[in-house]
Amino acid sequence: MANILSIIPYSFYPRIGGGALRCFHILKEMARDHVVYVLSPQTFSEFNIDDDTISKNIHLLSIDQHSKFKSYINSLLPDKYADAINYRFLQRKLSGSANLFYLKSYTALSSLLTEIKFDIIIYENLEALSYFRDTISRFQPNVKHLYDAHNVDSELWEQQAIATGENKYKIYSKNAYQLEKALTENVNFFFCCSEEDKIKIERLNNFRIRGRIIPNGVDTIGKKYDPFKKEKIKYNIIFCGSLDYLPNKEGLLWFYKNVFPILIHNLKSLKLTIVGNISNYQSYKNLLNDPAIDFVGRVEAVEPYYNNASIAIVPLLSGSGTRLKILEAMSLGNPVVSTTIGAEGLGAVNRTHIFIEDKAEGFASAIQHLLENDILFKETSMLARKYVEDNFEWSLIGNKIRIELNNLLDA
């Protein structure tokens, strides 16, 4: 039984959103065989693993319980300047602005690294890798490092730079690119969500590092599948995803402008339910005022909304990684209509497990065809559910995770 430290620099419970779900299930699967410590801003009051046996092997270190690192410099200078100096000192850097997450984490992390010898460190995003990798290596030089790539971040930020014209995304993309191409020097290997992402990251590193595909998954055992659901809610379609995430925003607004008018013209009673976290309502004001749209916002559980919808739409025009929302919809019996980018990395067969269309007319036609053809709807629903059960059930993915961790431990 190994000691594993997972660094997740964001809250991941309740399990809302693809990143949170991935982190949560990877923790659960690792904890079946190993003791797992989690460094995160997640609070103790929110956090709960719903399997008591596994939860005994998971220990949360919430930085919410710790004050930031301070030195004698804090008694001489205002916090703004003292934090910057302390950050540079701890990071062994001559420049750089203070990162408060790092400064709040350092006290808890340094104490933990002094007390417990770890076998593997897992970084759940590039930010965590860039901030903590060198610090951890100074305390434990022989520990093995693993990066979990939810996306190819440099590609994702570059897409956003092009879509918005904002320079900050170009900077994000450049920084991510430098980190991704230096993985060979910083980690022993990496997880990723798809074969496409694996090849991209390995190519950036001149194939000097190996990646392992750990796809996003679904707990199909716990999700009820109703093959007759269409008869109940035939003309209600659903979009689910964070509305603050730029690819979701871009895709949903494209759908509303180009696809939805076609559907409403042909299907007068059609309703669109939109579920997802949102902070900027201004971008969606036209949708909020549309009587054909039920704008739900953030919810604690998305399953009831899928159960009250027929077709799930994923009209993404940019992004990276694989879409857990597609797998969720499939597992609950909702046929999915997606763009090529939305369906990337899943291996689902077009017009068998999913309908893939990149043009507005084709996207609208696929939705209407599924709604009006009961046999096609039911067949797609059943085949999609079976595809998820056979390829993306978390218990199956968990076996892959444990095998790869054992390989890393033995290397």
Q: Looking at residue 229, what is its pLDDT?
A: 59
Q: What is the mean pLDDT of each run of 10 residues along the chain (411 residues)?
A: 93 76 90 93 77 80 79 79 80 74 86 95 94 94 96 90 87 95 95 92 95 90 68 82 89 97 94 90 91 89 89 89 85 95 92 97 97 92 94 91 91 76
Backbone φ and ψ of 393, nearest 5° = -70, 130
Question: Distance (Å, rounded) from C-alpha 408 to C-alpha 411?
Answer: 5
The answer to whether the beta carbons of residues 169 and 117 sit under 8 Å apart is no
Report strand pairing: 236-240 vs 336-338: unpaired
Query: In this structure, what token pair is assigned to residue 36?
Result: 């797992």
Q: Looking at residue 227, what is its pLDDT?
A: 66
* pTM for this model (two decimals): 0.85
Residues 6 or more apart from 257 whose CB is under 8 A from it? none
Q: Looking at residue 321, what is its pLDDT?
A: 67
Side chain identity, residue 19 = G
Query: In this structure, what token pair is assigned to residue 277?
Result: 């976290």
Q: Looking at residue 16, what is its pLDDT?
A: 66
Instruction: Delimit the domains of the chain by residue range.
Output: 3-217+394-410, 220-391
Same fold, 3-217+394-410 and 220-391: yes
What's the CATH fold of domain 3-217+394-410? Rossmann fold (3.40.50)
Q: Looking at residue 70, what is its pLDDT?
A: 83
Q: Which CATH architecture has domain 220-391?
A: 3-Layer(aba) Sandwich (3.40)
Alpha carbon of 16 to those of 119, 155, 218, 302, 381: distances in Å?
29, 24, 13, 8, 24
Q: Looking at residue 232, what is its pLDDT?
A: 52
Question: Distance (Å, rounded) from C-alpha 140 to C-alpha 170?
Answer: 34
Q: Looking at residue 96, what is its pLDDT?
A: 67
Q: Looking at residue 395, what is its pLDDT?
A: 86
